[in-house]
Amino acid sequence: MKPSLNRFLSHNTAKLRLFIWLTLIAITLATGLVLWQGGARVQSDILAMLPKVSESPMTQRAMAQVEQQLANRIYLGFISGNEQSAIDAAKTAMAKLKLPSQHNTKKSTQNTARKSAFIDISSADMAQAEALNRYYFNHRFQLLTNEQQQLLERGQWQQLTQAALEKLYNAFSYANSDLLTHDPLLLYPDNLIALAPSQQLSVKQGVLLKTIAPKALNQSPRFAAIVMAKGRDSAFNPNAQQLQLSALTTAFDAVKQQDSDIEIIKAGALFHAMAATENAKREVSSIGLISLLGVIALVWFAFRSFMPLTIALVTVSSSFLFAVVTTTAVFGELHLLTLVFGTSLIGISIDYCFHYYCERLNHPSHSSDRVIQQIFIAISLALLTSVIAYSAIGLAPFPGMQQVAIFCASGLVGAYLTLLLAYPTLAARPLRDGNRALDYASSYQGFMLSLMPAGSSKRLLLAVGTCVFITIGFTQLAANDDIRQLQHTPADIQAEEDELRTLLSGGTDNQFLLVTGDSEQQVTDELAQLEPLLKQAEQDNLIGNHLSLSRFLPSQSAQERHYQLQGLIYREHLDEILASLGLDPSIKGALIEQYQAAKGNFITADSLLNHAAGESFKPLWLSPQEGESGYGAIVLLGGITQLEALTQRFDALPHVELVDKVGDISTVMGHYRQITLGLLALALLIAGIIFTFRFGIRLAAVVVAVPALSALLTLACLGISHNPLTLFHALALILVFGIGIDYSLFFAESKQQTRGVMMAVFMSAMSTLLAFGLLAFSQTPAINAFGLTLMLGIGFTFLLSPFIQIFTRKSIDVD
């Protein structure tokens, strides 16, 4: 150790170092307060930790518009055996949801009006139906149904006349004198009906209604009234969740008071997000508390004193303070999952405390300064390797994982600084006799070393057996990078969502089709060509439904064709038609004038989307932005059953792309899983090079081999237990290296005096296993994978690290 550094770590500078540490703590606290008062917050949005996918600007815009349209939407179903009861329940719920949120009363001022938690609360949109009628009536000469078009193409206008006569004499007909003077063959009403999406929902009293067929012959049908709403704020915002939950509870209570037999089902991201938030909060509190209690028990068991316990709490607290403030300063927020992963910092930062006090137990006559000087190189190398490991995690494309890297790395730096600066003063009191605990540790190490076979043939057999085990495990190992594993959804929430999706014929999925073209005409032509394929996909049960602009925005060529075909009516046979229908011949001139005036009056994207009729369709159309030249249209899909088979249906259409953000992100996760495993190998290589300067090539290779073999054994166990390999397993293996290499490092550094090291490694491993072992029981699959891998990896490292003493006996003293 350099003389200057030795002087800094001497007893003479203890008070100065304590003052520096207290100053750092004060500055960190002040920075944290400024950050949180300046708007920093805890982020619970699971989407915020997803990787960024490289897409074309048009595709990125399309994904943003689809997310904006679908985000924060909820769907409610009110089910009753009485149709009117279901309708009344839906009306009551909509009325209550439109009321201002009661949670805003404390924050509201004279200048801030209270707002409802939801917007766009509706069932059947009657206003849009009226707007559609007003818009399309002005374009009636450009519209024909398929049946009307075929009859006119064959010159069979008489059949259209006969159909109009039947409508005139139908008691329930929508025909009236005003409509007849503008549309004598009543072609327009059928075109308006054709605009309605094909679904098994009816509309009564302005409410969408679905009849649920009975499951048994002796049962009566039930009725489900559907209500839709959109959260004013993000469903992943905890405050918004509480406001929306409060509004829903008020609405549901009102419905139940009105009719206690009403069954309420619900679906939407809100309910998944609430479950995830509650689960994460529960796990943060339980894992953190149990881990802390475990650390307390370990410290008391080893040292039988409250002082090490106090110092351990100071170390953990300062570590968390540095972690939270640094992460918040870098990212402006703290992800909830970062805190879940970060609870494991308790089991890592406490290692410094364990190594310090175990070294003091092993050398009771040494002062605190001398103990720190003895372990300085080891803990410095340990910090360096841990930071390398966390840096590798930070290279993953997940903001959440990047936060975990910064959180844990800065937390360990905080613990390291606490040991160097505060321990000489705060932890200077001598310990009670700890020979019993040290003897236990020494006996355990002796037992482990006795398990090593003596003969070379037996050792070779052990090596071959280990290789066979690893090979078998690797042959069973499979990968699964589906991002849906990021979030656990309770069975009851999923069951309600599945039931509502069935009622809505599949609802709307995250996957959608993007149709692109150089012009508006090309896009509408592509949409027209796509429509038959989509209808066939519905018939083949590949999808439940779809929503395309092709129905509302016919291609210009189709509109021109429809206009010319109607010339058969208005230019050639109008006299005969009026006579057959018994209409006044005087309206002929006005009809011809209207027909001629409509020439070139095409339905265009601009005219439709800027009209009230097309307001809800705006998210489905992409006009060129600055620097762009192309157009695009989005086709929403619902009830997808076979995504791969559906994708193949559109392979022959070069301007149609199936956008699957879930699949794209999963692909990116698989890519970074491979990169992360490569980084693990690179980290092992870098650590080996660094350790070579300290221990020589042979011993450095052994030190690195311990976490490397632990990683291989862990992967083999995952394969044999049929746990699919994910990015989170790979990230956890990085930490197995970062934490586990410390164990072999301390054994290599201590040479033959390993009693204190064995005890410190035992306590460190137990605290780490406790923290990560609890993560392995998390209900969130991603956290479960992270914890399980660390539990296995650290367990193997703990079992293997004592065997380094076999090699240190033969190593050269390189002090």
Give the mean pLDDT per block of 10 residues along the chain (815 residues): 63 84 94 84 62 70 78 87 90 89 48 70 77 89 91 90 80 65 87 70 82 79 88 76 88 91 87 77 75 76 79 88 91 77 68 83 82 86 81 71 85 91 86 75 84 82 92 91 71 81 72 89 90 89 86 90 92 89 87 91 90 86 82 87 85 86 79 82 86 87 91 94 88 81 82 75 82 76 84 91 77 43
Q: Which residue has the tokens 């290589």?
A: 685
Distances, alpha carbon 371 to alpha carbons 353, 413, 787, in Å: 12, 19, 33
DSSP state for residue 454 in the 8-state scheme: S
Structure tokens at 334: 């703290």
CA distances from 634 to 332, 523, 641, 662 (A): 34, 10, 20, 17
| Cα–Cα dist 40/107, whole Å | 19
What is the amino acid identity at position 111? Answer: N
Strands (E), 535-593: 545-547
Q: Calculate helix-pair angle for 238-258, 269-303, nearest 10 degrees.
A: 120
Name the DSSP class of 725: B
Q: What is the pLDDT, as a whole number, of residue 593?
A: 92
Q: Is the separation of the CB atoms in 209 and 87 below 8 Å?
A: yes
Strand partners, 516: 632
Burial 39-77 (b: 16+ CB within 10 A, else e): ebebbbbbbbbbbeeebeebbebbbebbeebbbbbbbbb
Q: 626 Cβ partners below 8 Å, 6+ apart?
A: none
Query: Burial level of 799, CB count in 10 A (0-12/13-18/19+)?
Result: middle
Q: Which amino acid is at 387?
A: V
Q: Where are the domains of the chain?
A: 1-39+304-433, 446-499+660-815
Task: Tell me the C-alpha distance between 746 and 741, whole Å.
Answer: 9
How do strand 333-335 and strand 41-43 relate by DSSP bridges?
Answer: parallel
Residue corresponding to tokens 């540790």: 441
Predicted pLDDT at 49: 61
Cα angle 58-59-62, degrees, rounded to a multiple of 5: 90
Which amino acid is it at 668?
Answer: V
Q: Are 49 and 396 in contact (CB under 8 A)?
A: no
Q: Are 778 and 791 in contact (CB under 8 A)?
A: no
pTM: 0.72
Ordered DSSP codes for 186-221: -HHHHHHHHHS---S-EEETTEEEEEEPPSSTTSPP
In this structure, are residues 131 and 612 in contact, taking their beta carbons and an 8 Å threshold? Answer: yes
Residue 79, SS3 per DSSP: strand
Place of tokens 């003596």: 454
Q: Which amino acid is present at 159?
A: Q
State the pLDDT at residue 812.
44
pLDDT of residue 814: 40
pLDDT of residue 55: 66
Spatial CB neighbours of 458, under 8 Å, sequence gap ≥ 6: none
Per CATH, the number for 446-499+660-815 is: 1.20.1640.10
Which ranges constitute the DSSP H helices of 598-642?
605-609
DSSP label at residue 227: E
Q: Rounded CA gap, 169 and 722, in Å? A: 71
Side-chain-side CA neighbours of residue 349 (13 Å): 33
Collapsed DSSP state (helix, strand, coil) of residue 559 = helix
Label residue 168 exposed, middle or buried (CB < 10 Å: 0-12, 13-18, 19+). middle
Q: How does DSSP assign 499-522, residue by residue?
A: HHHHHTTT---S-EEEEEESSHHH
Rg of the chain's alpha carbons, rounded to an integer?
36
* Nearest C-alpha neighbor of 483 from the set 670, 327, 251, 232: 670
Q: Which amino acid, residue 87?
A: I
- Single out the residue of 623, 622, 656 nearest to residue 534, CA to CA: 656
Q: For the chain, how many residues are written?
A: 815
DSSP 571: I
